[in-house]
Every structure is written in structure tokens, then in C-alpha cells.
């Protein structure tokens, strides 16, 4: 638990919490602005183009110019729209992104059992807005809530194309939320805690969950997150070739900008979650330094470097991978990701129980291999059952 909240809670603690919330929100907004610029420049480099280079040095002010342009556009409200829900939907898309980012540790010294505690104005605290004991469950709740913004935006627009885009979003989220939850369960099984700070503390000294869980949960989580973010090659919600503009077709001005903001904000947030769950977050060697360098600057540099890698990966996906067909999206989610995530979770559970009970690890692996080798017989059993119980096709 955050030591700031233990014991007496005075106005100083309230001020520190408010300061952390404001700084985290500001940092996330700045990160989104830089992410939009970086994605344009990176894709431009990969496609042998220049990218934005007119507005400000290296085109850094291009995103700001786009935001100002949207702010001065006319704010349209369709005649057949549900006015209250139409106005509410963009906020439901943005708020979960910030709520998830609030539980991410951004800095702090995690070496020598320090648990990331730093001193701010004489108060001991953590470099994150909040560290609830159920932090990962909160992240899963926010990831499930985010789809309501998309769904309600399409439904309240009073148009068929946005509605189709929002229905796609719901089906896509349901298909990949289960696999995402199973991979998080694998991480929690190895970490033994639900708080994000505890998960990072358990990965200090390079004891990352990436190899503690056997890499497979990380790969499944990365694919599931890409689908949850509606990023290419899973961008069916905004498939402009089929749905004009998707769920936000009827939106304009700042409401459209909020959906645009939420997409990139979620990309930054979920990249931070990947770093927290599998790559130790800000934990890393501090080279014997203490004070501001050892507790703030170097840990944040580790976190930023890991975060930048996954932001590059998401942009790389967008620049190189074509969009799947919708049936391929469903098949990958239900027939590949969920069985793989569930099977690997059961393997990790068997290994964990075997270690606790002193079993022979070779026997555990042999049992898993027997299940794997017996798999080719399962389709035959299912086919015989269908022939027995289902009427013949006419």
C-alpha cells in the first residue's frame, strides 16, 4: 500500500495526491501528442516519405495544429441522435484510459527491497497516482468499460453505419477480453499479488515475468491488446472501406477529437501496462546511485525506454500488416488465442503446484506432453459424437 495513505492523512497528503494526479494527466496528454507525431514520422520513414515537417521544428507542432483545427470546427448533432448518450460517449472512451494509467508505476527504486518508495516534500510515497491492492482487476474493469463509449457512440448516432461499427467493437472486445484475462491470470499466478507496485517489485533484478511465465502469455497479451485497442491489423471498428468512418462517422469537432485522443491514449496506456506486467516497469539497475538520480531519473529512463519499444511495435504493426477479414478475427480470438491462453495457464498452474508439493518436474512435463500428443484424437471423438447425436444433413 502507498505509505502516504497509511497512518494520519492530512492536507499535505491530499496535496501530494492531487499533484500526482495532475502531473500524470499532463504527462499522458503530452505523451499522446508526441505519439501522434512519432507515428506519422515513423510510418513516413518506413514508407520512404518525409512526414510532417512544416508546423514547428521537425513537424512537432502538427498535432497541436490538428487539435486547434478540430476545436474550431462546427459541433454537429444529428437530428435522430440520442442527445444525452451522444454527448456522453466520448467521455466514456477517454476516462478509462486515464484510469488505467493512474495505477502504473513510473519511477522509484525497486532494488534492495525498496519497493519503489520515494520522498516528496518529506512524505514517503510511490511514483504512481494510486496503488490499490486490486490494481490489475481495476485495469481489467477499465478495459471492459472502454467499449461502452464506442458502443453507445454508434447506437446513439441514429445511423446504420456507426451502429454496425459499434456492434463490431462489442464482438471484438468479447472475443479477445477472455484471452487477455487469462494471460493476466498467468502473471498473477507467478507474482502472487494484484497490485501493480507489487508486480514490479517482484521483477526487480531482471526477474521479469516475460520468462517467468514462458513468453507465451506475453505474446497472447500483445495480440489481444492490439485487438482491444482497435489497432491494425484489427481495426474493424473504423473500417472506412465498409463503414464510411465507423462508430464515429456522425461526430465532429472536439467530440471527434476525444475519440481520436482515446485511441492514442489507450495505446500509450496499454504499452505501459505491458511494461509493468512483463518487463519490470521502472525496475532496473541504478548503478549504485541514490537520491534523485537513483530513485527518479534512472528508473524513469528505464520505464521510458521499455515503453518506447512497444510504441514502436504498435506503429510497426500499423505500417506493415494488412487488415484481417472479420471471420479471421473471430477465428484467431476464439479458436487460437483463448485455447492457447487457457492451456498455458493450466501448464503454469501444474508447474506451480508441482513445485509447492515437491513433485518431479519431469513427471509434470510428461503429463503435459501426453495431453499434447493426445490432442489429434479429440477431433475424431467430436466428429463421432456429432454423427451420433445430430440428424443427417438434407
CA distances from 268 to 29, 98, 100, 263, 350 (A): 10, 10, 10, 9, 34
CB 2 within 8 A of CB 131: yes
From 56-70, 240-254, 312-326, the region with the lowest mean pLDDT = 240-254
pLDDT one-digit tens code per residue, 191-200: 889 999 999 9
Percent of the chain with pLDDT over 70: 88
Report pLDDT for 394. Answer: 54
CB 243 within 8 A of CB 252: no
Quote the CA–CA distance of 303 and 271 in Å, as a whole number.
11
Contacts of 124 (CB under 8 A, 6+ apart): 3, 4, 117, 118
Residue that wins the pLDDT comparison between 206 and 385: 206
pLDDT one-digit tens code per residue, 9-60: 677 788 888 899 999 999 999 999 899 999 999 998 888 888 888 888 888 8
Quote the CA–CA distance of 52 and 260 in Å, as a whole number.
18
Q: Which of 59-63, 159-163, 241-245, 272-276 has the highest mean pLDDT?
A: 272-276
Quote the CA–CA distance of 184 and 194 in Å, as a whole number.
10
Report pLDDT for 316. Answer: 92
pLDDT-based confidence at residue 388 (cuts at 50, 70, 90): low
CB 135 within 8 A of CB 30: no
pLDDT-based confidence at residue 239 (cuts at 50, 70, 90): low
Report pLDDT for 224. Answer: 93
- Give the predicted TM-score (pTM) of the model: 0.88
pLDDT-based confidence at residue 240 (cuts at 50, 70, 90): low
Percent of the chain with pLDDT over 90: 28
Helix segments in the chain, DSSP class H: 11-46, 62-71, 83-101, 135-156, 160-191, 196-201, 209-212, 216-228, 240-243, 253-278, 291-292, 298-320, 326-331, 338-357, 361-373, 377-389
Report pLDDT for 317. Answer: 92
Quote the CA–CA distance of 322 and 214 in Å, as a whole number.
29
Output phi, psi for 125, to 5 deg. Answer: -155, 180
pLDDT-based confidence at residue 63 (cuts at 50, 70, 90): confident
SS3 of residue 118 by DSSP: strand
Quote the CA–CA distance of 152 and 105 in Å, as a whole number.
32
Contacts of 198 (CB under 8 A, 6+ apart): 191, 192
81-110: average pLDDT: 90
pLDDT one-digit tens code per residue, 114-137: 788 888 887 888 889 988 888 898
Amino acid at each position: 500500500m502507498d505509505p502516504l495513505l497509511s497512518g494520519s492523512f492530512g492536507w499535505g497528503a491530499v496535496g501530494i495526491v492531487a499533484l500526482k494526479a495532475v502531473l500524470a494527466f499532463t504527462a499522458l496528454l503530452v505523451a499522446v501528442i508526441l505519439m501522434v507525431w512519432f507515428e506519422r514520422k515513423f510510418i513516413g520513414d518506413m514508407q520512404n516519405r518525409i512526414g510532417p515537417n512544416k508546423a514547428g521544428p521537425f513537424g512537432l507542432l502538427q498535432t497541436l495544429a490538428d487539435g486547434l483545427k478540430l476545436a474550431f470546427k462546427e459541433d454537429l448533432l444529428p437530428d435522430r441522435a440520442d442527445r444525452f448518450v451522444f454527448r456522453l460517449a466520448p467521455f466514456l472512451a477517454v476516462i478509462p484510459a486515464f484510469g488505467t494509467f493512474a495505477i502504473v508505476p513510473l519511477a522509484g527504486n525497486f532494488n534492495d527491497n525498496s519497493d519503489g518508495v520515494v520522498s516528496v516534500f518529506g512524505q514517503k510515497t510511490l511514483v504512481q497516482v494510486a496503488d490499490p491492492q486490486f490494481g490489475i482487476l481495476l485495469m481489467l474493469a477499465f478495459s471492459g468499460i472502454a467499449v461502452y463509449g464506442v458502443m453507445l457512440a454508434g447506437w446513439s448516432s441514429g445511423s446504420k453505419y456507426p451502429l454496425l461499427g459499434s456492434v463490431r467493437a462489442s464482438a471484438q472486445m468479447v472475443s479477445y477480453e477472455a484471452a487477455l484475462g487469462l494471460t493476466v491470470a498467468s502473471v498473477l499466478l507467478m507474482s502472487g499479488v494484484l497490485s501493480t507496485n507489487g508486480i514490479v517489485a517482484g521483477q526487480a533484478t531482471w526477474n521479469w515475468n516475460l520468462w517467468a511465465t514462458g513468453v507465451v502469455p506475453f505474446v497472447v497479451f500483445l495480440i489481444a491488446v492490439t485487438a482491444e485497442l482497435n489497432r491494425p491489423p484489427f481495426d474493424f471498428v473504423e473500417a472506412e472501406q465498409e463503414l464510411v468512418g465507423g462508430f464515429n462517422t456522425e461526430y465532429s469537432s472536439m467530440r471527434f477529437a476525444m475519440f481520436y485522443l482515446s485511441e492514442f491514449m489507450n495505446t500509450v496506456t496499454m504499452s505501459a501496462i505491458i511494461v509493468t506486467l512483463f518487463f519490470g516497469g521502472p525496475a532496473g539497475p541504478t548503478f549504485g546511485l541514490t537520491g534523485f538520480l537513483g530513485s527518479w531519473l534512472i528508473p524513469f529512463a528505464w520505464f521510458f525506454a521499455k515503453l518506447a519499444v512497444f510504441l514502436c511495435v504498435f506503429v510497426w504493426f500499423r505500417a506493415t500488416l494488412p487488415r484481417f477479414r472479420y471471420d479471421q478475427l473471430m477465428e484467431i480470438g476464439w479458436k487460437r488465442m483463448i485455447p492457447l491462453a487457457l492451456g498455458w495457464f493450466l501448464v503454469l498452474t501444474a508447474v506451480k503446484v508441482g513445485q509447492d508439493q515437491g513433485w518431479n518436474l519431469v513427471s509434470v512435463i510428461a503429463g503435459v506432453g501426453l495431453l499434447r500428443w493426445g490432442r489429434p484424437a479429440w477431433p475424431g471423438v467430436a466428429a463421432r459424437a456429432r454423427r451420433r447425436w445430430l440428424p443427417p444433413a438434407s
